[in-house]
Structure 1
């Protein structure tokens, strides 16, 4: 059973990554913030008594379901008010760096030149742009497996699909990213 402190620490540890993941899905900063807050509230209200080890998988599933609910509400709202303009994708803000953890790890010694830092920042920006272009399920699987560092079984449970589907989505995402980055002359 998770203590209040464990729950609080868990939520603090995932809030930034969850927000960035939501931004990739809904492409609207305010909506992404609402989704993450709703997901955190649901976890605390309904699953706060679960063991701390179960919280990451539960939260990922709640976040995925809350995001799907947002899309359903948006679709319904658009159908009811067909004259409403489509929501803008103003959430694409250059302030967010998907791979900031990787960036900080790769420069932990502080020996990087300004030119190297600039090139690395450009490459990371290109990777982030290409991740945004992946189909939803591929992006979701890719982010859970390689960014959230969830294993195949956890990702499958969180996405509500088979482990084979997760592997397929990840393989296709990696292939698409590799192809897109190679076309831009970026070799990793």
Structure 2
């Protein structure tokens, strides 16, 4: 049985990535923080006594479910209160830039020209914008597979779907991103 310290260490290790993933989905930092906190509490309350090696998959599934619950609540609120503006995407005035956080931080980036740095930043912003335009399930599969570096089976378990569905979602996401970026003249 895992100790409270092990659970605390695990939650601390996934906190930042879970928050970034949630912000990517809901486009609202406060809502993302609530979703991550709720997910962590659910894991601790309901699965804290499970073996530590089960926590990563359980947490991913809980995080996905909490995110879907948030979208359902927003849809209900929108239906009840049509004047709400909660559905507008958050602006770029947030402190974090997901794709910049994913960019490789090595010496080659420190010595590149200002023009190259600016160009790379623009490309990353375009990619981020296109990822946000993906349908929810495609975006979820794409982020789990390529950002969380989960394998197909882990992603399928976390999303509650078949491995074939994960492959289809990822394939469609990659194709949509490639098409959108090509249309904008971006070559990777």
TM superposition score normalised by structure 2? 0.89
Question: Secondary structure of 1:96's match?
Answer: coil
Gaps of 5+ in 1: none
**Corresponding residue number in structure 1 for 2:97:** 97
Pair 1:137-2:137 in alignment: yes
Pair 1:54-2:59 in alignment: no
**Corresponding residue number in structure 2 for 1:158:** 158
CA contact (8 A) 2:39 2:62 kept: yes
Question: Secondary structure of 2:103's match?
Answer: helix
CA contact (8 A) 1:28 1:89 kept: no
CA contact (8 A) 1:43 1:58 kept: yes
Q: Distance in 1 between matches of 2:176 and 2:106?
A: 24
Pair 1:114-2:110 in alignment: no
CA contact (8 A) 1:28 1:91 kept: yes
Q: Distance in 1 between matches of 2:82 and 2:162?
A: 39
**Corresponding residue number in structure 2 for 1:32:** 32
> Equivalent residues in 2 for 1:65-104 (5 A)?
65-79=65-79, 81-94=80-93, 95-104=95-104
User: 134-143 or 64-73: which moved more?
Assistant: 64-73
Report how far residue 30 of structure 1 moved: 1.6
Question: Secondary structure of 2:68's match?
Answer: helix
Q: How has the CA–CA distance of structure 1 residues 87 and 109 changed in structure 2, closer, same or farther, with 3 Å as cutoff?
A: closer
Q: Distance in 2 between matches of 1:43 and 1:107?
A: 39
Q: Distance in 2 between matches of 1:139 and 1:47?
A: 27
Report how far residue 185 of structure 1 moved: 1.3
Tell me the number of residue pairs that the alignment of Structure 1 and Structure 2 aligns: 187
**Corresponding residue number in structure 1 for 2:185:** 185
CA contact (8 A) 1:28 1:88 kept: no
Report how far residue 141 of structure 1 moved: 0.2
**Corresponding residue number in structure 1 for 2:16:** 16
RMSD: 2.0
Report how far residue 135 of structure 1 moved: 0.5
Gaps of 5+ in 2: none
User: 14-23 or 132-141: which moved more?
Assistant: 14-23
